[in-house]
């Protein structure tokens, strides 16, 4: 089945640093999404990407939809303590509504 | 404008009992999706429903699991004769139209099922 790969499993950065996360797939997706999950909560949508090559920003977050439609990256600039959480990428083929999620990257920010 | 409401937040069941998880979509949303999350894993799709119809159940286990979204009331995910492997967080999401994520796919806070 379809799989999204996120690595490493955990990242540790200093407050104020930038961080970049990648997500790759062996399958093509027509929509890429990035979610953040806090402990005990559901995922919250950060950025949605609908076109290959698209670069989209949301505050300190920037994400790009890879030109091959098989990858995406998320950048967080000038990290702050509340950026701590698990970041998931998700892909959608478009023919149906289900999302395929990666396993997530746990981000820790040292003050 | 309330978000997607799931209850209970935590549910403990003994092996062999039934678990019923409820999801009320956002106001105006008629499409509901159920996902399961095991510890340190991403969310796995289970089922997609519209009012009174199951659209895609390709992620549902063949036995013991069922889902409904009646004309009135919340969507229900039902797990019969629970086993320890059913212990997970179950998330519901809703959207106003099909093609879910393109139009804002909102997740609830989840129900954490523990089977003892």
Res B99: pLDDT: 61
pLDDT-derived band at B18 (thresholds 50, 70, 90) equals very high
- Smallest CA–CA distance, residue A20 to chain B, in Å, is 19
The string of pLDDT tens digits covering residues A10-65 is: 999 999 999 999 999 999 998 999 999 999 999 999 999 999 999 999 999 999 99
* Chain B touched by A98 (CB under 8 Å): yes
CB-CB neighbors (< 8 A) of B107 in chain A: 42-44
Res A93: pLDDT: 82
Q: Do A97 and B100 touch (CB under 8 A)?
A: yes
Q: Following DSSP, what letter does each residue of B15-75 receive, concatenated?
A: TT--EEEEEEPPTT--EEEEEEE-TTS-EEEEEEEETTEEEE-TTS-SSSEEEE--SSS-E
Structure tokens at B37: 């999350």
Disruptive mutation site among A41, A86, A87, A98 for chain B (greatest number of B CBs within 10 Å)? A98
Which among B91, B98, B99 has the least Cβ separation from residue A42?
Answer: B91
Average pLDDT over residues B30-56: 92
The closest alpha carbon to A20, from A110, A111, A105, belongs to A105
Res B96: pLDDT: 78
pLDDT-derived band at B104 (thresholds 50, 70, 90) equals low
CB-CB neighbors (< 8 A) of B58 in chain A: 98
Counted across chains A and B, CB pairs separated by less than 8 A come out at 76
The string of pLDDT tens digits covering residues A54-78 is: 999 999 999 999 999 999 999 999 9
Q: Is the pLDDT of residue A96 over 60?
A: no
* Chain A touched by B25 (CB under 8 Å): no
Tell me the C-alpha distance between A27 and B107, whole Å: 25
Classified as helix, coil or strand, B103 is: helix
- The nearest alpha carbon in chain B to A42 belongs to B109
CB-CB neighbors (< 8 A) of B42 in chain A: 4, 88, 90, 101-104
Percent of chain A beyond pLDDT 90? 84
Q: Do B101 and A90 touch (CB under 8 A)?
A: yes
Res B28: pLDDT: 83
Q: Do B42 and A96 touch (CB under 8 A)?
A: no
Q: Which residue has the higher pLDDT, A56 or B100?
A: A56
pLDDT-derived band at A2 (thresholds 50, 70, 90) equals confident
* Chain B touched by A96 (CB under 8 Å): yes
Query: Rg for chain A (alpha carbons), in Å?
Result: 13
CB-CB neighbors (< 8 A) of A45 in chain B: 101, 104-106
Res A1: pLDDT: 64
């Amino acid at each position: 089945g379809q799989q999204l790969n996120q690595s490493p499993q955990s990242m540790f950065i200093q407050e104020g640093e930038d961080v970049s996360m990648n997500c790759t797939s062996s399958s093509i997706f027509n929509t890429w999404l990035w979610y953040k999950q806090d402990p005990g909560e559901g995922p919250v949508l950060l950025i949605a990407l609908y076109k290959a090559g698209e670069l989209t920003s949301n505050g300190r977050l920037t994400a790009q939809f890879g030109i091959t439609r098989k990858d995406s990256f998320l950048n967080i600039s000038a990290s702050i303590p509340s950026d701590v959480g698990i970041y998931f990428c998700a892909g959608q083929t478009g023919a149906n509504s289900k999302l395929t999620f990666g396993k997530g990257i746990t981000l820790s920010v040292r003050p | 404008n309330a978000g997607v409401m799931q209850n209970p937040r935590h549910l403990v069941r003994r092996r062999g009992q039934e678990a019923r998880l409820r999801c009320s979509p956002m106001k105006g949303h008629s499409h509901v999706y159920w996902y399961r999350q095991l510890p340190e894993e991403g969310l796995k799709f289970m089922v997609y429903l519209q009012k009174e119809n199951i659209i895609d159940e390709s992620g549902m286990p063949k036995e013991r699991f069922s889902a409904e979204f009646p004309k009135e009331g919340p969507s229900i995910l039902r797990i019969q004769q629970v086993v320890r492997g059913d212990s997970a967080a179950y998330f519901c999401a809703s959207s106003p139209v099909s093609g879910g994520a393109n139009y804002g796919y909102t997740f609830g806070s989840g129900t954490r099922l523990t089977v003892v």
